[in-house]
Structure 1
Amino acid sequence: MTLVVTCFLSLVLSAAVAEETSTHWPLPQAKPEDVGLRGDVLSKIRSRMEQFVADKEIAGAVTLLARGGKIVHSEAVGWADLDAKTPMQKDSLFQIASMTKPITATGLMILVDRGKVGLDDPVAKYLPEFADVKVNGRPPEKPLLVRHLLTHTSGLTGSQRTEATLAETVAKLARDGLTFEPGERWAYSPGLTVCGRIIEVVTGQSYEEFLRREIFQPLRMKDTTFVPTAEQRSRLARAYQRTPEGNLVPGGGAIWLIEDAGVRAPNPSGGLYSTAADLARFYQMVLNGGELEGTRILSSEAVAVMTRVHTGDLVTGFTPGNGWGLGWCVVREPQGVTRMLSPGTFGHGGAFGTQGWIDPQRKMIFILLVQRTNFPNSDASPVREAFQELAVAALTD
């Protein structure tokens, strides 16, 4: 009898675990009209994305909009794999590339919240290899601070790919030195990779395990990972590049992980895979001031610090009018591709044309997931501009 009961309980627990594993955890949904948006305008996003697919600008796309904590638009168009004729799905998995950076920054800010890391601490306090770092061959006039890593004002240079371990990667970055005095100017850099190593040193955990325990599991981001499972790989959107003749051919796909699994460390500057639903949960947590559905990831003070401009009047980013927060691009003066966004909107893009924006004034989240490797400027792509334009045009308040 005991054996029967034990087996039954085991089956029940297994079923519960299976249900938990397979459950999709999006945000609640709402009709656009219930949150101040016109559904007829939002419906044009799909047809516009389909036109980009027909014009061979992209193979496919997943778009998602949320307002007031509720999803009002979620669409998948085109193909995840052109050759196999695999349709894009809402839960298709994407390489989000540099959209990883704000997530790494969030991990570090968790430690700032706990008093284990200080933004104005010298990096060498945690990573002794930076004690003798040089600026173009000479000692720096002022120390390299943790803050500089998060704002791309460190002067670090070098590849954003990782070596076999983060420790080896960061040691090499320290040896390569700085190209300018910390804080002197802005230059996109692997500073967030160094942040990943600081997380390891301070916590004694691997960087990826810390993110899993502190962010992905609490937020139920079940499809956000550095190492996709076989099932997740079956949903992977393939990356394409556009030829001069106007055709899409495979190119640049899985550049950080799938062929490197077990060879290279997870990349804190750009190695994550994720889905629109998972990213929506992460962004909503940030928009809520660090909390989602009763689970607090960051203090509201930490979120406020992260999402304000820390770079003063320095020229930053890849489109005009932006400043830089701690891991986030912040729109200072909307113009060009950001002209329809509110001042103070913050977000990040990725090398394959992906983009996420959080507009606190309008309480809106914009997520665009595509996999095109050779936009002339992925931060100012026509796909991104059209998506944002239609989303904002739908506002009624």
Structure 2
Amino acid sequence: MRRFSPLLALLLPLLLAPLASAEAPQISPISAAMQKFAAEGKISGAVTLVAKEGKIIHHAADGKANLETDQPMKKETMFAIASMTKPITATAVMMLVDEGKLSLDDPVSKYLPEFADVKLKDGKAPSRPITFRDCMSHTAGFQGSQSFETSLADAAKDVATRPLLFDPGSNWSYSPGLTVAGEAVEVISGMPFEKFLETRLFQPLGMNDTTFYPNEEQRARTAQIYSPGDQPGTLKPSGNAYSDPSKVKGPNPSAGLVTTAADLVKFYQMMLDGGVASGKRYLSESAVAEMTKLQTGDLKTGFTAGCGWGLGFYLVREPQGVTGMLSPGTFGHGGAFGTQGWIDPDKKMIFVLMIQRSGFGNGDDSDVRKAFQTLATDAVKQ
């Protein structure tokens, strides 16, 4: 039998360690639950990721990305994350705040003049101007669709023509406020919105699969969106304009990004670490604190009980139901197609759920989300 030298015997475990740790350990009950949801026709498949104290402790792909082609779900499968785009847009705004190029309480009309003449539903002028704080906490009074088939500049102008539902700051209503904020980023920075994000956030963080305009290779690994089928327990494909770049004429700051779980966790870890990643500061600690503190006071907000809103982020105030396993102060966001991303600062945990479905009700209050988060938190208690 061949014998190793004493020195090699000492070094061998260290040499092999990177290979051994290249594959994240799995929380097997999470995969079992996702496979059960797929078998029941509630999802086609899922990519799930859990990080704890800066390390990925679970990253798994289960089920199918496309049922018609039998394409398996993979860790690198891409997903349309819809409104999970909003916190990323808010981050861009806060970068400019950090640089002194705008203030959260600046009137939006200072940079987008079309908002100087907005009117309430009764035709009267609002009691005060709309601010960036209003836009990013959904208290501006904006209404109407968050999707558009035009340029970002024209989409913002269209929002300005819609009557306000209420005086800015007096109430809460989910709205295209982040679309308006994203256009302001273009104007203030002098860069196309997608280029600002690419150069200031995505490239430095290594988020190479995060884009408004997926290329051919990325489209080929983007999961199909499914709706309830004609028979119970079945699924049928449903469309999504944002996964077809030929239909995207402008980046949608409220809903347009396509990405992977592995990319998102890099952004979330930076936020959890107070705006720093790999020694590079992206946001000041005060900017992160502002984004993740309650901005809506006692106003009644959506989409689950016991929650409120920060700037671009949805906050857990009083954990209950689908948030019952999370800590007060947990922040994150969901997307229209069921995707979820949440950061629990107390537990130092990140939860990323990537699925693609529509027509199943409130994605923020889904049984899939609850099962995923419950199994993840249970696993770290053991």
> Normalising by structure 1, what TM-score?
0.88
Alpha-carbon distance between aligned partners in 2 of 1:31 and 1:219, rounded to the nearest angstrom:
20
Tell me the alpha carbon deviations over residues 87-125 of structure 1, each in whole angstroms, 9 at most, x when there is no partner: 000000000000000000001100000000100011111
Alpha-carbon deviation of 1:259?
5.4
257, 260, 264: which one aligns with 1:272 = 257
Partner-residue secondary structure (3-state), 2:60: strand
103, 117, 121: which one aligns with 1:132 = 117
Alpha-carbon distance between aligned partners in 2 of 1:30 and 1:335, rounded to the nearest angstrom:
33
Is residue 30–residue 71 contact of structure 1 (8 Å, CA) maintained in 2?
A: no
Alpha-carbon deviation of 1:59?
0.2
Which residue matches 2:136?
150
Do structure 1's residue 332 and structure 2's residue 321 form an aligned pair?
no
Is residue 214–residue 245 contact of structure 2 (8 Å, CA) maintained in 1?
A: no
Q: How do residues 1-397 of structure 1 correspond to structure 2 at under 5 angstroms? A: 42-136=27-121, 137-243=123-229, 245-246=231-232, 247-252=234-239, 254-258=240-244, 260-261=246-247, 264-396=249-381
Tell me the alpha carbon deviations over residues 226-270 of structure 1, each in whole angstroms, 9 at most, x when there is no partner: 011111111110000013522100013x32351544x52111000
Partner-residue secondary structure (3-state), 1:269: coil
Alpha-carbon deviation of 1:300?
1.2
Alpha-carbon distance between aligned partners in 2 of 1:257 and 1:56, rounded to the nearest angstrom:
23
Alpha-carbon distance between aligned partners in 1 of 2:89 and 2:118, rounded to the nearest angstrom:
23
Alpha-carbon distance between aligned partners in 2 of 1:244 and 1:92, rounded to the nearest angstrom:
27
Which residue matches 1:35?
none
Structure 1 residues 290 and 72, CA, compared in 2 at 3 Å: closer, same or farther? Answer: same
Which amino acid letter does the alignment assign opposite residue 134 of structure 2?
H
Is residue 91–residue 275 contact of structure 1 (8 Å, CA) maintained in 2?
A: yes
Alpha-carbon deviation of 1:31?
7.1
Structure 1 residues 67 and 389, CA, compared in 2 at 3 Å: closer, same or farther? Answer: same
Alpha-carbon deviation of 1:177?
2.6
Alpha-carbon distance between aligned partners in 2 of 1:143 and 1:131, rounded to the nearest angstrom:
7
Alpha-carbon distance between aligned partners in 2 of 1:189 and 1:156, rounded to the nearest angstrom:
6
Which residue matches 1:14?
none
Structure 1 residues 259 and 298, CA, compared in 2 at 3 Å: closer, same or farther? Answer: closer
Is residue 96–residue 272 contact of structure 1 (8 Å, CA) maintained in 2?
A: yes
Is residue 242–residue 256 contact of structure 2 (8 Å, CA) maintained in 1?
A: yes
Alpha-carbon distance between aligned partners in 2 of 1:344 and 1:125, rounded to the nearest angstrom:
32
Tell me the alpha carbon deviations over residues 272-302 of structure 1, each in whole angstroms, 9 at most, x when there is no partner: 0000000000000000101111121111111
Alpha-carbon distance between aligned partners in 1 of 2:242 and 2:210, rounded to the nearest angstrom:
15
Partner-residue secondary structure (3-state), 2:242: coil
Structure 2 stretches lacking a partner, 5+ long: 1-20
Which amino acid letter does the alignment assign opposite residue 173 of structure 1?
V
Is residue 239–residue 373 contact of structure 1 (8 Å, CA) maintained in 2?
A: yes
Alpha-carbon distance between aligned partners in 1 of 2:23 and 2:273, rounded to the nearest angstrom:
18
Alpha-carbon distance between aligned partners in 2 of 1:334 and 1:257, rounded to the nearest angstrom:
34
Which amino acid letter does the alignment assign opposite residue 197 of structure 2?
L
Alpha-carbon deviation of 1:215?
0.5
Alpha-carbon distance between aligned partners in 1 of 2:116 and 2:243, rounded to the nearest angstrom:
31
Number of aligned residues: 360
Alpha-carbon distance between aligned partners in 2 of 1:29 and 1:139, rounded to the nearest angstrom:
59
Partner-residue secondary structure (3-state), 2:204: coil
Partner-residue secondary structure (3-state), 1:231: helix
Alpha-carbon deviation of 1:377?
1.1
Alpha-carbon deviation of 1:29?
6.6
Alpha-carbon deviation of 1:158?
1.5
Tell me the alpha carbon deviations over residues 130-187 of structure 1, each in whole angstroms, 9 at most, x when there is no partner: 1111011210012111100000001001211124211111111111131111011111
Tell me the alpha carbon deviations over residues 12-53 of structure 1, each in whole angstroms, 9 at most, x when there is no partner: xxxxxxxxxxxxxxxx87977xxxxxx7xx211111110001
Percent sequence identity is: 55
Q: CA RMSD in A?
A: 1.4
Which amino acid letter does the alignment assign opposite residue 215 of structure 1?
L
Which residue matches 2:15?
none
Is residue 243–residue 258 contact of structure 2 (8 Å, CA) maintained in 1?
A: no
Structure 1 residues 30 and 239, CA, compared in 2 at 3 Å: closer, same or farther? Answer: closer
Is residue 162–residue 266 contact of structure 1 (8 Å, CA) maintained in 2?
A: no
Is residue 126–residue 198 contact of structure 1 (8 Å, CA) maintained in 2?
A: yes
Alpha-carbon distance between aligned partners in 2 of 1:90 and 1:257, rounded to the nearest angstrom:
18
Which amino acid letter does the alignment assign opposite residue 65 of structure 1?
V
Structure 1 stretches lacking a partner, 5+ long: 1-27, 33-38
Runs (4+) off by over 6 Å: 28-32
Which amino acid letter does the alignment assign opposite residue 89 of structure 2?
T
Is residue 212–residue 242 contact of structure 2 (8 Å, CA) maintained in 1?
A: no
With 240-249 and 205-214 compared, the bigger mean Cα shift is at 240-249
